[in-house]
């Protein structure tokens, strides 16, 4: 996903580090059941494109402490594997002085005012923003609660607050040895004013933040009790599966359901404009019923559309007038006067997400309201679409969020929820709509196809005096967050378009070219950064080759203004043994990326078989993501991000023929398996800088490292993903 703050961070880092407009406000909310309930108010970044002119301070997250001492954190950031259900409560536990295990988590209900992500302007989990958005607010909330509990205890004992301290869920008066549990103090604490200024712990005193605390969701995920959206069980619930028109933009013409009606367990066939669903007692019967339907589709205008058509449109568009994203110095002039010029075209395909949990949504439309059970990254949008389809006001639509069996950006869209409500609206019982894997892959919201042209003018030593990068592709922001699509520029598409480098003369620009209506493009694991990292780091490797220089030393020379990027590059080179010769038959490649507030460098070691098959044997990764919350989570995200990026580099492609997506399941949309997984070493740089995101940058860095390694081994420069093994066949 995109990073709404990246340019802001780069441009105004000094301002932010001085703490301007970073104040967090707290409020106590009285609850009938008693106990202390703290609402956290967050400053709303005024530069956020979604800024709607509402008040800038609204409650955002809730910490609740009950009379029995139970601490509950209402989680507005969802858990999809990235570890938020551990890192978020860690922030609270550290300041509140309770064990992580003492905090119970609840999925937040939909409410943009209460639970918005201040980085994105509404209630959303994405863009590797969770820790960055809540790093200060949640600690402040924990510290405020701690301060109030200490004040309550001090008042009870009639002693100075300074003589009391909090530890392990109790307030202790050290001089007398008296102790009071938090639970016994909550009623009194709730009557106190919320402190204006709370003192956060000195990072040197952190005992939990920076430690590899165990995941809070692990036990349920190893014994089968974890509840994902697809595991929803509601009394009277039936199961439906669906077939949407396989041709882009096509509609349903007619259905003969006579054979499906005879399938045991089939209850009803439901028709939508562009799809048909079968409701049954169980998924086995629903699938069998669906297969028994005779469906006629109205193919619409795209019945002959293919990938080649799409690429031609992008190629043609790339010569149109572009919108400028970065323009420093005079790239055109510098290019024309440089002694040497290098040009290249780089391309990346449409990609599906293929999260392990296929798209699903359970809906019960009643006369007086509607319930939705789903795992979503955008719960208020889920509520809004259900309200729109049913005609109910928002408050009549309850959405129950769940753990997500993989998100990767797919669950930032609500198309599946809209469809499920359309189906459920036609019956009076709860229906769980489950997409088959084929439906999930053929009706995904795809990562855009990008067609990029890059040029560099080199000086007589081979260093770039001019750098230009034109990105051509569809705009996700224009569809998904229209206010952020300004003056024709999709900021995500061009993010990190000049890499981690600071060239003197640089031009990055953008041409928007959309595929036909019905083929929707959307977020993926690090769309902008992941795409531009491949283009830029592949191209910079070409420049190093042209200059006759080592890829690491060449990059080092271009990173003088980015010491943190240089540091991860140095670290990865050292750990990978870059200065030592590679074993025979192995190629080694490097890439360095700045994205989502984090610096990553990776070295990949690859072999290429005679028939062209690429094996990635070893990946070394160095990361500086600022202050670490949970180092083991960071390591896990690097490992997982690398595997996810490798799948895309080696296999990932959605292709179109006759208006249809050609792939359908894991046989045709291959993903990396354990026997292909490299060894992965992750090294982290300790830092007190602001925390950076970690969900996406690991994915961004691996593809260029691999193609650069292939070049080092074979001399063949790959400028398109996925890697074409036929190009790598030995003669």
Judged by CB under 8 A, does residue 105 bind other proteins?
A: no
Judged by CB under 8 A, does residue 686 bind other proteins?
A: no
Contact by Cβ (8 Å): 118, 43: yes
Q: Cα–Cα distance between 75 and 63 in angstroms, integer? A: 9
Judged by CB under 8 A, does residue 724 bind other proteins?
A: no
Q: Is the dihedral of CA 596, 600, 606, 608 positive or negative?
A: positive
Which position among 434, 496, 649, 723 is part of the footprint of other proteins (CB under 8 A)? 434
**Beta carbon nearer to other proteins, 33 or 225:** 225
**Beta carbon nearer to other proteins, 665 or 714:** 665
Helix (H, G, I), strand (E, B) or coil at 6: helix
Q: Whole-number minimum distance, CB 215 to other proteins, in Å?
A: 6
Which position among 22, 437, 479, 717 is part of the footprint of other proteins (CB under 8 A)? 437
**Beta carbon nearer to other proteins, 194 or 677:** 677
Q: Whole-number minimum distance, CB 283 to other proteins, in Å?
A: 5
Judged by CB under 8 A, does residue 231 bind other proteins?
A: yes
Contact by Cβ (8 Å): 699, 706: no
Helix (H, G, I), strand (E, B) or coil at 339: coil
Q: Is the dihedral of CA 407, 409, 410, 411 positive or negative?
A: positive
Which position among 225, 321, 487, 726 is part of the footprint of other proteins (CB under 8 A)? 225
Q: Whole-number minimum distance, CB 642 to other proteins, in Å?
A: 7
**Beta carbon nearer to other proteins, 264 or 341:** 264
Which position among 235, 579, 667, 731 is part of the footprint of other proteins (CB under 8 A)? 667
Which position among 406, 528, 538, 626 is part of the footprint of other proteins (CB under 8 A)? 406
**Beta carbon nearer to other proteins, 596 or 644:** 644
Helix (H, G, I), strand (E, B) or coil at 113: helix
Only segment of 87-95, 136-144, 398-406, 654-662 that touches other proteins (CB under 8 A)? 398-406
Only segment of 143-151, 253-261, 459-467, 667-675 that touches other proteins (CB under 8 A)? 667-675
Would you state the structure tokens that stand for residue 569, as one six-digit string?
Answer: 């590059």
Only segment of 74-82, 159-167, 451-459, 565-573 that touches other proteins (CB under 8 A)? 74-82
Only segment of 91-99, 162-170, 262-270, 548-556 that touches other proteins (CB under 8 A)? 262-270
| Non-local CB neighbours of 519 within 8 Å, separated by 6+ positions | 248, 249, 302, 446, 656
Judged by CB under 8 A, does residue 677 bind other proteins?
A: yes
**Cis omega (within 30 of 0) for bond into 20:** no
DSSP state of 194: P
Only segment of 62-70, 146-154, 301-309, 643-651 that touches other proteins (CB under 8 A)? 643-651
Contact by Cβ (8 Å): 175, 168: no
Instruction: Please name every residue paired with 28 in a beta bridge, in sequence order, or none if there are none.
Output: 38
Judged by CB under 8 A, does residue 526 bind other proteins?
A: no
Task: Please give the order of strands across the beta sheet that includes 506-512.
Answer: 323-328, 506-512, 464-473, 450-458, 340-348
Compute the half-sphere exposure of residue 586: CA atoms within 13 Å on the CB side of its CA: 15
Judged by CB under 8 A, does residue 135 bind other proteins?
A: no
Q: Whole-number minimum distance, CB 32 to other proteins, in Å?
A: 34
Which position among 103, 431, 454, 643 is part of the footprint of other proteins (CB under 8 A)? 643
Residues between 279 and 338 with contacts to other proteins, criterion CB under 8 A = 281-285, 287-288
Which position among 13, 191, 253, 264 is part of the footprint of other proteins (CB under 8 A)? 264
Q: Cα–Cα distance between 309 and 348 in angstroms, integer? A: 15
Q: Cα–Cα distance between 135 and 29 in angstroms, integer? A: 22
Judged by CB under 8 A, does residue 532 bind other proteins?
A: no
**Beta carbon nearer to other proteins, 207 or 262:** 262
Q: Cα–Cα distance between 251 and 53 in angstroms, integer? A: 40
Contact by Cβ (8 Å): 114, 365: no
Judged by CB under 8 A, does residue 362 bind other proteins?
A: no
Only segment of 144-152, 421-429, 513-521, 639-647 that touches other proteins (CB under 8 A)? 639-647
Judged by CB under 8 A, does residue 407 bind other proteins?
A: yes
Judged by CB under 8 A, does residue 217 bind other proteins?
A: yes
**Beta carbon nearer to other proteins, 79 or 495:** 79
Q: Identify the CA nearest to 707 among candidates 696, 715, 697.
A: 715
Q: Identify the CA nearest to 695 among candidates 361, 445, 404, 373.
A: 404
**Beta carbon nearer to other proteins, 518 or 695:** 695
Judged by CB under 8 A, does residue 566 bind other proteins?
A: no
Which position among 243, 272, 403, 543 is part of the footprint of other proteins (CB under 8 A)? 403
Q: Cα–Cα distance between 669 and 560 in angstroms, integer? A: 41
Contact by Cβ (8 Å): 596, 119: no
Instruction: Please name every residue paired with 392 in a beta bridge, in sequence order, or none if there are none.
Output: none
Instruction: Please name every residue paired with 634 in a beta bridge, in sequence order, or none if there are none.
Output: none
**Beta carbon nearer to other proteins, 8 or 437:** 437
* Total chain residues near other proteins (CB under 8 A): 68
Burial of 152 (0-12, 13-18, 19+ CB in 10 A): buried
CA angle 694-616-619, nearest 5°?
A: 40
Judged by CB under 8 A, does residue 424 bind other proteins?
A: no
Residues between 196 and 215 with contacts to other proteins, criterion CB under 8 A = 212, 214-215
**Beta carbon nearer to other proteins, 166 or 648:** 648
Which position among 135, 182, 373, 408 is part of the footprint of other proteins (CB under 8 A)? 408
Would you state the structure tokens that stand for residue 42, as one six-digit string?
Answer: 């967050």
Q: Cα–Cα distance between 321 and 472 in angstroms, integer? A: 11
**Beta carbon nearer to other proteins, 405 or 528:** 405
Which position among 314, 348, 642, 654 is part of the footprint of other proteins (CB under 8 A)? 642
Q: Cα–Cα distance between 506 and 497 in angstroms, integer? A: 10
**Beta carbon nearer to other proteins, 546 or 684:** 684
Residues between 574 and 633 with contacts to other proteins, criterion CB under 8 A = 632
Residues between 78 and 97 with contacts to other proteins, criterion CB under 8 A = 79-83
Q: Cα–Cα distance between 488 and 482 in angstroms, integer? A: 11
Q: Which whole-number Å values give the CA distances from 632 to 103, 240, 628, 639, 690, in the listed order?
A: 20, 40, 10, 10, 18
Judged by CB under 8 A, does residue 235 bind other proteins?
A: no
Q: What is the DSSP pairing of strand 164-167 with strand 170-173?
A: antiparallel
Footprint of other proteins (CB under 8 A): 79-83, 212, 214-215, 217-228, 230-231, 233, 239, 263-265, 281-285, 287-288, 354-358, 403-408, 434, 436-437, 632, 636, 639-644, 647, 665-667, 671-675, 677, 679-680
């Amino acid at each position: 996903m995109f990073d709404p703050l990246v340019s802001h961070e780069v441009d105004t880092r000094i301002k932010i580090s001085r703490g301007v407009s970073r104040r967090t406000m707290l409020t106590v909310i009285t609850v009938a059941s008693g106990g202390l309930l703290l609402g956290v108010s967050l400053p709303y970044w005024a530069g956020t494109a979604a800024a709607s002119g509402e008040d800038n301070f609204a409650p955002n997250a809730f910490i609740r402490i009950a009379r029995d001492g139970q601490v509950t954190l209402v989680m507005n950031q969802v858990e999809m594997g990235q570890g938020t259900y551990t890192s978020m409560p860690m922030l609270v536990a550290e300041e509140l002085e309770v064990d992580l295990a003492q905090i119970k988590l609840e999925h937040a209900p939909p409410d943009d005012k209460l639970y918005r992500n201040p980085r994105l302007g509404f209630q959303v989990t994405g863009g590797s923003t969770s820790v960055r958005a809540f790093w200060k607010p949640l600690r402040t909330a924990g510290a405020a609660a701690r301060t109030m509990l200490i004040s309550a205890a001090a008042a009870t004992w009639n002693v100075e607050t300074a003589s009391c301290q909090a530890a392990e869920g109790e307030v202790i008066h050290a001089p007398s040895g008296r102790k009071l549990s938090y639970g016994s103090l909550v009623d009194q604490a709730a009557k106190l004013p919320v402190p204006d200024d709370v003192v956060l712990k000195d990072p040197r005193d952190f005992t939990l933040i920076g430690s590899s605390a165990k995941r809070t969701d692990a036990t349920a995920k190893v014994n089968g009790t974890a509840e994902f959206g697809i595991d929803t069980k509601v009394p009277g619930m039936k199961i439906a599966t669906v077939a949407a028109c396989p041709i882009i933009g096509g509609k349903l013409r007619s259905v003969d359901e006579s054979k499906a009606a005879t399938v045991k367990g089939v209850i009803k066939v439901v028709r939508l404009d562009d799809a048909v669903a079968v409701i049954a007692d169980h998924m086995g019967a629903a699938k069998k019923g669906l297969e028994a339907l005779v469906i006629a589709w109205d193919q619409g205008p795209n019945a002959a559309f293919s990938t080649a058509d799409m690429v031609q449109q992008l190629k043609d568009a790339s010569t149109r007038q572009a919108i400028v994203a970065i323009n420093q110095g005079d790239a055109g002039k510098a290019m024309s006067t440089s002694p040497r010029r290098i040009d290249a075209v780089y391309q990346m395909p449409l990609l599906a997400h293929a999260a392990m949990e296929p798209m699903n949504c359970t809906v019960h439309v009643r006369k007086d309201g509607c319930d939705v059970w789903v795992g979503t990254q955008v719960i208020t949008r889920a509520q809004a679409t259900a309200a729109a389809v049913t005609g109910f006001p928002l408050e009549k639509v309850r959405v129950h969020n769940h753990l997500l069996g993989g998100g990767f950006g797919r669950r930032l869209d609500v198309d599946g929820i809209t469809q499920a409500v359309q189906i459920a609206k036609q019956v009076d019982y709860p229906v769980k709509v489950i997409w088959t894997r084929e439906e999930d892959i053929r009706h995904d919201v795809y990562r855009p196809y990008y067609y990029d042209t890059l040029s560099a003018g080199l000086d007589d030593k081979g260093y770039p005096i001019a750098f230009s990068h034109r990105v051509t592709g569809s705009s996700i922001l224009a569809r998904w967050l229209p206010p952020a699509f300004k003056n024709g520029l999709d900021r995500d598409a061009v993010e990190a378009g000049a890499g981690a480098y600071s060239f003197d003369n640089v031009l990055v620009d953008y041409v928007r070219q959309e595929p036909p209506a019905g083929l929707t493009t959307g977020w993926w694991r690090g769309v902008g950064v992941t795409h531009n990292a491949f283009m830029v780091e592949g191209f910079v490797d070409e420049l190093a080759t042209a200059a006759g220089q080592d890829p690491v030393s060449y990059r080092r020379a271009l990173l003088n203004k980015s010491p943190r990027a240089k540091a991860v590059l140095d670290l990865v080179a050292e750990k990978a043994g870059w200065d030592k010769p590679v074993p025979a038959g192995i190629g080694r490649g490097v890439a360095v990326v700045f994205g989502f507030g984090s610096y990553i460098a990776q070295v990949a070691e690859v072999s290429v078989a005679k028939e062209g098959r690429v094996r990635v044997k070893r990946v070394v990764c160095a990361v500086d993501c600022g202050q670490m919350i949970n180092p083991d989570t960071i390591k896990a995200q690097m490992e997982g991000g690398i595997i996810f990026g490798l799948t895309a580099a080696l296999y990932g492609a959605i292709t179109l023929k006759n208006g249809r997506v050609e792939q359908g399941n894991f046989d045709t949309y291959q993903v990396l398996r354990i026997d292909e997984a490299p060894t992965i070493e992750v090294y982290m740089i300790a830092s007190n800088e602001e925390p950076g995101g970690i969900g996406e940058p690991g994915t961004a860095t691996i593809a260029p490292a691999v193609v650069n390694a292939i070049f080092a081994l074979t001399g063949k420069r790959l400028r398109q993903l996925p890697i074409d093994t036929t190009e790598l066949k030995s003669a």
